[in-house]
Amino acid sequence: MDLNLMAIFHFSPLYITLILFTIFKGISGATFTIINKCDYTVWPGILSNAGSSRLDSTGLQLQPGASRSFQSPPNWSGRFWARTGCNFDPTTGQGTCTTGDCGSNQVECNGAGAIPPATLAEFTIGGSDNQDFYDVSLVDGYNLPMMVEPSGGSGSCLSPGCATDLNQRCPAELRVGDGAACKSACEAFGSPEYCCNGAFSTPDTCKPSVYSEMFKAACPRSYSYAYDDASSTFTCTGADYTITFCPSTASQKSASTSPTRSNGSGQITTTTNNGSGGGSGTTGELPAVVGNSNSPFPNFFTGDSTKTLSSSALYTSLVASSATLFLFISL
């Protein structure tokens, strides 16, 4: 091979780009970190959708304050939720949970999903135009507060979820037991107009119900019924995600708030001992993630960034920066 040609391949920014491409090729997917900020133990469940590889675990135990991270493969889709009130025999490992149980009779869910009601975090990683799609869903009911926070990605990258304790606002007809969870109207009544099936199976015929509107008012960035996509599905590119159970003090049961009830006229009412009638007032909304600077080089190269980058975002930034350097030297 000509020595000049060898020199180009050994020292040019293009060669550096090729090296970086080789090093970071295949690094994609997303890292999911689950954090338990509840003052009680939870047992997260994880379900990969059909066609997606299972993660390192399908179920685990998280003590208060504990966390656990999982790396997803490229183009992964699935859901996370929390089981509560679980009791597993230390000898046989068998047991059940009060809410969010997956029916496996084990800590691992082994491919089984949550039995409603349960708050769900749903993800499609690397979907259309390589975007991630994600939401926090109350379509199958609610059992505890949950927020999803993306980091290191690009795009709108908003944080959906519900930090409000809906168990304290749950109408009597939706309440589970002593208030451990709150059913969806579909689960409680099974009617087509609530379940969006039969004659109500299209966006034009299935409208928000008084119950889904109650969920939506308390948690504007949660998915409240089957056709709530427009305001409740979020996108980001190249991000990692933190899923937090009980993200605020809203997870603490308030003695001053009585459960909400339907008054029979299509309205939901809340009573409080202090006479305010407004409930906790927590919306669970978080501000949008602030975008990066307009510098042609990412901040982590210059040391100005306090943020971390996901693996896929790191790969993209390295290749883009090398290409920029190559063009600069070529001028």
Domain spans in the chain, listed from the N-terminal domain onward:
29-165+220-250+281-317
For the residues 9-27, what does the mean pLDDT come to? Answer: 42
**How confident is the model at residue 233, as a pLDDT?**
85
pTM for this prediction = 0.70
Q: How far apart, in whole angstroms, are the C-alpha atoms of residue 62 and residue 110?
A: 18
Tell whether domain 29-165+220-250+281-317 is in CATH 2.60.110.10. yes
**How confident is the model at residue 230, as a pLDDT?**
75
pLDDT, averaged across the chain: 77
Q: Answer whether the bond into residue 117 is a cis peptide, omega within 30°.
A: yes
Those residues with Cβ within 8 angstroms of residue 36's Cβ, 6 or more apart along the chain or in another chain: 42, 44, 62, 63, 64, 65, 66, 67, 82, 245, 246
Quick check: 254 pLDDT over 90?
no
